[in-house]
């Protein structure tokens, strides 16, 4: 399990790194100059500025702008008093956190200008004949490197966050499409079947309305579970997905019964899949669900076959319909098929579909037993 931290916040290892860096900077660049101050007022003031600088280095993730400003002011003041020899390393340490947190708001032109400055600094430098010149050169190099590195890391982190947001949006789109689409498809098909019966009596109508209510309630529960999953995401990768509970292969039987009640003639063979992982079971369930839903929408009244079996370490899913018995059945947008392929790819498997020569539509999938997600 990998714990994630909000943008701009430090992970558990950062306090140790900040403390070690502050200890090195203070011990190497501050303490010798403080001890050699010559008078206790200057030494006391230098010690106080050293404490401020160390505190800034420790607080750079919580207050990056304030920490950078305070560290720079303390270092400059101590340098003017002669109680510090730090070439702005403490300020650069804080500047890295500031640049990383604000990288998304930094334009490419500014980054290019700083890169040019860094190149000129490396090529020409400054007059480093004395200690002051060398310190200025080191300070400029440290600040530039910290800013560029922080900006690069920050942009990479922002890209990763954007990719994660896009992945979650795609997962939500698939779940909503499969859950709501299936429920509405079954409801529509059942209502259509009842409407086509001119002599339907009250018990049949009540039974159909009860089934419609049941499907609507089930879809509502799944959407609520999806929302809960978004609010409280599972910490471990490879879990059951956004909707939380993973349906078992046995739960395909009630779904197939619903398809039969909606007017399909379904020949089903659901073999055992021992050892199937949560991710694989969810993909199998969703593929069969979406395939049956497509038959209900685009080939109402069709004769359909469903096969789920396991061979060695591979699970095979096969759904075939033989064409609609209702004239004028239409075609869909292809989003469901695309969702099948995305789910199978994430699980380490494949999905293919075709229109057989005898008519109808066929979907087949091969998935690893353990799955990859």
For β-strands 314-321 and 361-368, DSSP reports them as antiparallel
Residue 265 near residue 282, CB atoms below 8 Å: no
For residues 340 and 362, what is the distance between their CA atoms, to the nearest angstrom?
13
Average pLDDT score over residue span 291-307? 85
Angle at 309 between CA 307 and CA 310, to 5 degrees: 160
Average pLDDT score over residue span 198-205? 67
What digits encode the pLDDT tens for the residues 214-268? 767 776 766 666 666 666 655 444 344 445 567 777 788 888 887 887 778 889 8
Burial (0-12, 13-18, 19+ Cβ within 10 Å), 106: middle
What digits encode the pLDDT tens for the residues 107-146? 666 556 656 555 555 555 555 555 556 777 788 888 888 8
Q: What pLDDT sits at residue 342?
A: 85
Average pLDDT score over residue span 183-207? 65
For residues 193 and 300, what is the distance between their CA atoms, to the nearest angstrom?
10
- Two structure tokens written together for 197: 């019966």
For residues 300 and 323, what is the distance between their CA atoms, to the nearest angstrom?
8
DSSP characters over 219-273: HHHHHHHHHHHHHS--SSTTSS-TT-SPPPGGGHHHHHHHHHHTT-EEEEEE---
For residues 277 and 197, what is the distance between their CA atoms, to the nearest angstrom?
43
Tell whether the model's pLDDT for residue 7 goes beyond 60.
no
pTM here is 0.56
* Helices and strands in the chain: count of H runs, count of E runs: 11, 5
For residues 329 and 136, what is the distance between their CA atoms, to the nearest angstrom?
78
């Amino acid at each position: 399990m990998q714990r994630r931290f909000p943008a701009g916040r430090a992970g558990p290892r950062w306090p140790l790194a900040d403390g070690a860096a502050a200890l090195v900077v203070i011990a190497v660049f501050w303490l010798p100059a403080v001890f050699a101050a010559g008078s206790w007022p200057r030494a006391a003031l230098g010690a106080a500025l050293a404490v401020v600088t160390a505190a800034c280095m420790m607080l750079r993730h919580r207050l990056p702008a304030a920490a950078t400003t305070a560290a720079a002011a303390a270092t400059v003041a101590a340098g003017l008093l002669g109680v510090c020899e730090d070439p702005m390393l403490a300020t650069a340490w804080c500047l890295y956190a500031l640049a990383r947190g604000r990288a998304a708001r930094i334009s490419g032109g500014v980054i290019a200008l700083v890169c040019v400055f860094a190149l000129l600094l490396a090529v020409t430098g400054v007059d480093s004949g004395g200690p002051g010149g060398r310190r200025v050169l080191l300070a400029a190099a440290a600040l530039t490197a910290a800013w560029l590195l922080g900006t690069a890391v920050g942009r990479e982190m922002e890209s990763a966050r954007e990719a994660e947001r896009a992945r979650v949006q795609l997962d939500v789109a698939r779940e909503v499409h499969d859950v709501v689409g299936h429920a509405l498809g079954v409801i529509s098909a059942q209502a259509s079947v009842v409407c086509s019966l001119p002599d339907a009596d009250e018990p049949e109508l009540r039974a159909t309305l009860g089934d419609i209510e049941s499907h609507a309630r089930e879809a509502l529960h799944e959407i609520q579970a999806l929302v809960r999953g978004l609010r409280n995401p599972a910490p471990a990768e490879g879990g059951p997905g956004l909707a939380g509970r993973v349906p078992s292969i046995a739960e395909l039987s009630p779904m197939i019964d619903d398809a039969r009640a909606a007017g399909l003639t379904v020949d089903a063979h659901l073999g055992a899949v021992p050892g199937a992982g949560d991710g694989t079971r969810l993909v199998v369930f969703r593929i069969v669900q979406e395939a049956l839903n497509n038959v209900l929408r685009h080939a109402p009244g069709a004769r359909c076959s469903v096969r789920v079996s396991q061979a060695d370490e591979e699970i095979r899913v096969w759904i075939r319909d033989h064409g609609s018995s209702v004239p004028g059945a239409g075609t869909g947008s292809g989003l469901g098929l695309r969702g099948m392929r995305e789910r199978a790819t994430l699980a380490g498997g494949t999905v293919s579909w075709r229109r057989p020569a005898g008519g109808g539509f066929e979907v087949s999938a091969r998935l690893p037993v353990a799955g990859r997600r």
